[in-house]
Chain A
Amino acid sequence: MYGSIVKRALFASTMLLGLASGSALAQDKTVITMWDQFFSAAPNKLMDEFVAEFEAAHPDVQIKRNVLDTDSIRATLPSALASGQGPDIFYYDAGPAFLGPLVQAGLVADLTQEYAARGWDKALVTWPVERVTYNGKIWGVPNEIEYTNVYVDLAVLDKIGMKDKLVPAEGHPDLLTLASLDDFTAMMKAAKDGGVIPIAFGNRDPGRGGHLFSYFLTLTAGKDFVDTILFGDGRWDDPKVIAAWDLYKSFNDAGFYPPSPNAISYDEGNALFFNGGAASNITGTWLVGDIVDQVPEASNFDFFLLPSASKDLPLSAAAGIGSTFAVSDKSAHKKEALDFLGFLMSKEAGKRWLEQANIVPPIQDLDTDSMKLSPMLKRVVAGASLPLSYNLDVVMPAEWNQAMTAGTQSLLDGSSTSAAVSAAMQTAWEKAKAEGKIWKAR
């Protein structure tokens, strides 16, 4: 009896010693924590692969991921970083409304020197890097080029006799467009007359209406005009801005959106489109991954770019980088964190971002011809070389975003006017400008 107890005690001690040793070994590793938003199946799996491969190549480093959706990371990351308990690496929305306050609070590592030292200044496309540059310093590593376009259900277009309206874009044979904006109106009218909802637009999350407004402003006024506001003395209550809101509202008045878009979520709008209930869906290139990976008959879908309202304006779209990788200024493992980001930005990784996750990384000179890409993703890559404009929510301050998103909903339910929304945006812009909260890349 006594011997048995001694044996058990010895066994338990050995086990504890083993656990302690294991723990000590784990403690020898440099643990990097990363909060990211790669919650969709394919990007999530790819990121897990990247982490495993990096850990295999760097046995002394362990990366712990925490995957969050956009709302959750927006609600939790700022306070986590401010309390000193935040992650080493985070994948967060760029722009003065999101990354900007973190930069101003000194919570984000300045990567300007790293860009030069690691050659990222030459390896990455310039405009996405500008989106993470504030006051001449670089604070993030962009990972995805995104822009807004018009997805179409080819079967529905065929049914309403509008498929032939799609034509190759001049100078960009890989891209589809229409001869004029009037053709788009005719297409939508034909869809409505055919008993199909023309545009699967859900604006319960009002940021979605913001994407449409950004796109319509690109079409009606062009990037150069937006630049005059962002970097000059242009105004948000300019008639060109009001015209973009008028276009947004006119589609609702014409019955091109579903009934009560303010009551429909983004996912419900997408579901309507995927199930053949709508002819088109105006959203970002991030939807390509969902179509390719999740929709049974993905070949039924394609996308095109709307032509600009004036012949003087080039073919363009509202673009952004979505989120950006950034490193906490309080991280004790900056070198390892940056090594990992360098690994993610390599050309080999870039190929896999495209092929496995349908994400277009801002990496220069990727040989996409040799890659296995879906036809739709090839189009996205082709469009990335256009003179793209701005997805405004990720380059504008919070106050302005508040005025703009409120406008997207109030115009649809008739409680405001284009001029009033534009005036509110201008007021918010002036306030943010006075408080130094605006984006100054240059």
Chain B
Amino acid sequence: MAIPNPTASRSSRRPRFTLAIAGKYLLFLGPAAALYLPFVLRPLIETFYLSLHQWNGVSPDWTFFGLDNFVRAFSDRIFWTALFNNFLWVVASFILPMGFGLVLAVMISNVGRGQKIYSGIFFMPVVLNLIIVALVWGLIYNPLIGPLNRFLKVIGLGAYAKGWLGDSLTATPAIIFAGNWTFFGFCTVIFLQGLRTMNVEQLEAATLDGANAVRKFFHIVVPSLADQVRLIAVLSVIGSFKVFDIVYVMTKGGPNHASEVIATYMYWQSFMNGSLGYGAALAVLLTVFVASASCLLMMSREPKR
């Protein structure tokens, strides 16, 4: 009996590329391309072209600068501060909402009744507009009327009361906390879904083998949620690099650029400081960072063959 050659078989089954198939490709890709080319690809190319120039946004003359705007970025103290803050956002958005969300999901999954109510309550911040969140947390942190400082004074920690958003050291962590408050509910729901599809027999077997709750959590629950962790990681990285609105509303990147992220610094350079060429270079760098991080994470999602 002849052994079939799978390669040859696949090759022989491959349909010929005909006009009809080209038409089908066009039919399916056309609508997306009609939107993607003029509204995504063209602006991307134009932004890159602008990043090679010096332009104040109004002058008819664009001065060719080569890669000087990129060189300038790497010698710009504020750019490094902004980039560092973006990385803080990435790390914090990965650890805080994921850790809290996971613990919460496990707790909710152990509640007999009312799981939907709990997950609904914890999911509520996700649907809030970030501008509203920024305004509310701005009030919470307010050094004059904010409840956070009042609470600290009530519990005898008045020495730690401060203007959280007005201090170079605390502004970024304070905004990150507020931003992540809106994300943990999402993580909870995603993990909850993962837990529902988890193999319960493994947990039962571990229980019979005498594994305690902590061992079961780290050796069975966490590994089985790997897909959910990757999904949240991708969303965290993209969201953390793109973050703009909550920072702009709460501090405008201040004090003295201490809470700046790349997006707010790009906006400030482009539209408030009249350096559109430099702003475009920052936008290009931001795109490179987001695309690289996303690609790495997406590649890590592919199961090893």
Question: Which residues of A sit under 8 angstroms from B252, Cβ to Cβ?
Answer: 204-205
Closest to A407 in B: B256
27 residue pairs A–B, Cβ–Cβ below 8 Å = A78-B57, A78-B58, A82-B59, A104-B59, A105-B59, A106-B60, A204-B254, A206-B254, A206-B256, A258-B144, A260-B162, A262-B163, A262-B165, A262-B254, A262-B255, A263-B165, A264-B142, A264-B144, A264-B163, A264-B166, A272-B144, A398-B274, A402-B273, A406-B257, A413-B255, A413-B256, A415-B256
Q: Is the CB of B56 within 8 A of A101?
A: yes
Q: Could you say which interface size class chain B belongs to?
A: 20 to 34
Cα–Cα distance between A393 and B58 once the two chains are bound (Å) = 20
CB of B74 within 8 Å of the partner chain: no
Cα–Cα distance between A272 and B57 once the two chains are bound (Å) = 38
Interface membership of chain A positions 236-269, coded 1 if the CB is closer than 8 angstroms to chain B and 0 otherwise: 0000000000000000000000111111100010
Cα–Cα distance between A416 and B77 once the two chains are bound (Å) = 15
Minimum distance in angstroms from A251 CB to a CB of chain B: 16
Closest to A259 in B: B143
CB of A358 within 8 Å of the partner chain: no
Minimum distance in angstroms from A437 CB to a CB of chain B: 10
CB of A425 within 8 Å of the partner chain: no
Question: Which residues of A sit under 8 angstroms from B58, Cβ to Cβ?
Answer: 78-79, 81-82, 101-102, 104-105, 107
Minimum distance in angstroms from A261 CB to a CB of chain B: 7
Minimum distance in angstroms from A237 CB to a CB of chain B: 19
CB of A277 within 8 Å of the partner chain: yes
Q: State the B residues within 8 Å of A (CB).
A: 56-60, 141-144, 161-168, 251-252, 254-257, 271-274
Closest to B276 in A: A79
Q: Is the CB of A277 within 8 A of B254?
A: no
Q: Is the CB of A204 within 8 A of B251?
A: yes
Q: Is the CB of B274 within 8 A of A260?
A: no
CB of A25 within 8 Å of the partner chain: no
Question: Which residues of B sit under 8 angstroms from A101, Cβ to Cβ?
Answer: 56-59, 274
Partner of A409 from B57, B254, B271 at Cβ < 8 Å: B254
Known: A263-B166, A398-B273, A413-B167. A258 touches B57 (CB 8 A): no
Minimum distance in angstroms from A178 CB to a CB of chain B: 27
Q: Which of B60, B162, B165, B166 has the most CB of A within 10 A?
A: B166
Q: Is the CB of B141 within 8 A of A263?
A: yes
Cα–Cα distance between A102 and B165 once the two chains are bound (Å) = 34
Question: Which residues of B sit under 8 angstroms from A206, Cβ to Cβ?
Answer: 254-256
Give 19 A-B pairs besides A105-B56, A260-B162 with Cβ atoms closer than 8 angstroms: A78-B56, A79-B58, A101-B56, A104-B59, A105-B60, A204-B254, A259-B143, A259-B144, A259-B161, A260-B163, A263-B163, A263-B164, A264-B143, A268-B142, A277-B144, A398-B274, A409-B254, A413-B168, A413-B256
Q: Is the CB of B255 within 8 A of A412?
A: yes
CB of A33 within 8 Å of the partner chain: no
Q: Is the CB of B256 within 8 A of A409?
A: yes
CB of A374 within 8 Å of the partner chain: no
Q: Is the CB of B166 within 8 A of A261?
A: yes
Within 8 A of B (CB), among A91-138: 101-102, 104-107
Closest to A272 in B: B144
Within 8 A of B (CB), among A390-412: 398, 402, 406, 409-410, 412
Cα–Cα distance between A279 and B5 once the two chains are bound (Å) = 91
Q: Is the CB of B57 within 8 A of A263?
A: no
Question: Which residues of A sit under 8 angstroms from B162, Cβ to Cβ?
Answer: 259-260
Q: Which of A263, A264, A415, A416 has the most CB of B within 10 A?
A: A263
Cα–Cα distance between A409 and B252 once the two chains are bound (Å) = 13
Cα–Cα distance between A75 and B162 once the two chains are bound (Å) = 32
Partner of B256 from A259, A260, A410 at Cβ < 8 Å: A410
Nearest 7 pairs of A and B residues by beta carbon: A260-B163, A263-B166, A263-B163, A262-B166, A260-B166, A262-B255, A409-B255
Cα–Cα distance between A75 and B256 once the two chains are bound (Å) = 20
Cα–Cα distance between A230 and B122 once the two chains are bound (Å) = 58
Partner of A259 from B163, B255, B274 at Cβ < 8 Å: B163
Question: Which residues of A sit under 8 angstroms from B141, Cβ to Cβ?
Answer: 263
Question: Which residues of A sit under 8 angstroms from B144, Cβ to Cβ?
Answer: 258-259, 264, 268, 272, 277
Question: Which residues of B sit under 8 angstroms from A264, Cβ to Cβ?
Answer: 142-144, 163, 166
Q: Which of A259, A260, A413 has the most CB of B within 10 A?
A: A260
Cα–Cα distance between A259 and B144 once the two chains are bound (Å) = 8
Cα–Cα distance between A104 and B142 once the two chains are bound (Å) = 42
Cα–Cα distance between A151 and B162 once the two chains are bound (Å) = 26
